[in-house]
A = this chain, B = another copy of it.
Amino acid sequence: MQGSALRALERIRIVLVGTQHPRNIGSAARALKAMGFGAIHLVAPEKFPHADATALAAGADDLLDGAQIRPTLAEAVAGCTLVLGSTATQRAVPMPELSPREAAARLLEASRYGDVALVFGPERSGLENTELQRCHASVCIPTDPDFSSLNLAQAVQVLAYELRLAAMAQEGLDAARPPPDACPPATHDAMERFFAHLDQALHAIDFHKGRSGMTVMRRLRRLFLRTAPDERELRMLHGILADAQRMARLAGAKKVP
């Protein structure tokens, strides 16, 4: 039987990307189950299922048996309104960085409106920059600057612990309702469609002027993920892009005599 604290955790997907050692999947599953999570999500694990995972799960076999396995991160976080990426240290991609406690509060809050995800990269390298660009913010466990080497399952443990505390605290709180005119936050998929449209529109109005648009798109992704638009805002932005494209077509039609 699950208490309401656990129901708050049901919409939080813990996603392990490209995990190399099955023992870490097992340890993470054990940590998650002890903290009240009912599922583990895996993206292209190197070896799974595996006896080492089962051994380290130490009774959390049901999470392993029911593991949600997806080939790509995009599929694992499809439909999520908030995606946070765990990082060991500062990355080339500057993005908002949350402490574990801040991240837990954000995830809990956002989970009231839909699914959310917390993503962990492979042991050796962590999340790639292209993966981090799908995240609204990064989460960094504070470590000794001279030895920031945390085991993957240990990182999962710390974040899952903070999420459990946050869920327990929320359980004690009155279920505050969202403001009356609140619109659901846009899903990951909807954001990706917006970014694709934005990229097309920038090409149409010749913003790139021969340069690669990659840096610009990376910065714009960061800017718009940070603001986490809701569905209505996204419709408005699509409308603006469509009008800019229309002007570009008219301008193009003019240039060709």
Interface residues of A in 215-251 (CB under 8 A from B): 216, 219-220, 223-224, 226-229, 232-233, 236, 239-240, 243-244, 246-251
Number of copies: 2
Check A35–B143 contact: CB distance below 8 A.
yes
For A57-69 the 0/1 string (1 means CB < 8 A from B) is 0111000000000
Interface residues of A in 103-159 (CB under 8 A from B): 140-151, 153-154, 157-158
- Identify the closest chain B residue to A144 (Cβ): B36
- Identify the closest chain B residue to A225 (Cβ): B227
Check B239–A207 contact: CB distance below 8 A.
yes
How distant is A122 from chain B, measured CB to nearest CB, in Å? 15
Given contacts A27-B154, A205-B244, contact A59 B147 (CB under 8 A): yes
Check B180–A94 contact: CB distance below 8 A.
yes
Q: Does A48 contact B (CB under 8 A)?
A: no
Interface residues of A in 8-41 (CB under 8 A from B): 27, 30-31, 33-36
Partner of A254, one of B143, B181, B216, B251: B251
Please tell me the size bucket of the interface on A: 35 or more
- Partner-contacting stretch, out of A76-84, A160-168, A188-196: A160-168
Q: Does A176 contact B (CB under 8 A)?
A: yes
CA distance A25 to B102 in the complex (A): 30
CA distance A3 to B143 in the complex (A): 12
Q: Does A214 contact B (CB under 8 A)?
A: no
Check B151–A182 contact: CB distance below 8 A.
no
Residues of B within 8 A of A94 (CB): 179-182
Partner of A158, one of B59, B97, B157: B157
Residues of B within 8 A of A74 (CB): none
Partner of A144, one of B34, B149, B240, B247: B34
Residues of B within 8 A of A219 (CB): 232-233, 236
Check A102–B176 contact: CB distance below 8 A.
yes
Give me 29 A-to-B residue pairs in the complex whose CB atoms sit less than 8 angstroms apart, sorted by A's number: A30-B150, A30-B151, A31-B150, A33-B144, A33-B147, A34-B143, A34-B144, A35-B144, A36-B143, A59-B149, A60-B147, A97-B179, A99-B175, A101-B165, A140-B175, A142-B164, A157-B158, A158-B158, A158-B161, A161-B161, A205-B244, A205-B247, A206-B243, A219-B232, A219-B236, A244-B247, A247-B247, A247-B250, A247-B251
